[in-house]
Amino acid sequence: MEIKVRDIPAEGLSLSYDEDPSEWDLEEKGLTVEGPIHVSLKVTKLNQNEVYIRGALSANLLSECSRCLKKFADPIQSDFHVDYVPESAISVQDEHELVPQDLDLHFYKEECIEVNDVIQGQLHLAAPMRPLCKPDCQGLCPHCGEDLNQKQCDCPKEPVDFRMTGLKDFFKKK
């Protein structure tokens, strides 16, 4: 999605649209999105050149549970805000120390703001690092691989330290 700075009215611009994730090659970057990505943006000019964007996105990720390895649909939502300034506003000749506010700035050139990179970044930030199919997922048995959500297995529940099995047998004999 491209926003032309000169087309932003004084009262701001409200946009709501669905983005097709197949155009972004997200699977190559580790995300599988089912269906469209819904995006809502409120774009306002702070002055003649600076633009502030407040947005929200929602999508359904296809994830694999980090405990039981089942595939499931994982709805995500993310709210974000971004400040844009023209690339010409920065001086590349002078050295200066970055302050925390500088890290939130994005730059545009030729009066066009491309927001797809920000939206893709927000998708990655909203995706859980360890997705769970349900909060109380039991996972897989470490011994036999049985899905403990389906049925309990007969494997020993206490961890066995194989380095000490010789001592265990030694004390049983006495």
Q: Is the pTM of this model over 0.85?
A: no
Other Cβ atoms within 10 Å of 81 Cβ, number? 11
pLDDT at 41 over 60: yes
- Compute the chain's Rg from CA coordinates: 26
Q: What percent of the chain has pLDDT over 90?
A: 11
Task: pLDDT band for 31, please (50, 70, 90 cuts).
Answer: confident
Are 86 and 107 spatial neighbours (Cβ–Cβ below 8 Å)?
Answer: yes
Task: pLDDT band for 92, please (50, 70, 90 cuts).
Answer: low
Structure tokens at 121: 């970044």
Task: pLDDT band for 93, please (50, 70, 90 cuts).
Answer: low
The residue among 93, 84, 90 whose CA lies nearest residue 111 is 84
With tokens 């983005």, the residue in question is: 19
For strands 2-4 and 13-19, give the pairing: unpaired
Task: pLDDT band for 90, please (50, 70, 90 cuts).
Answer: low
Structure tokens at 141: 């048995």
| Structural element, H or E, at residue 123 | helix 116-126
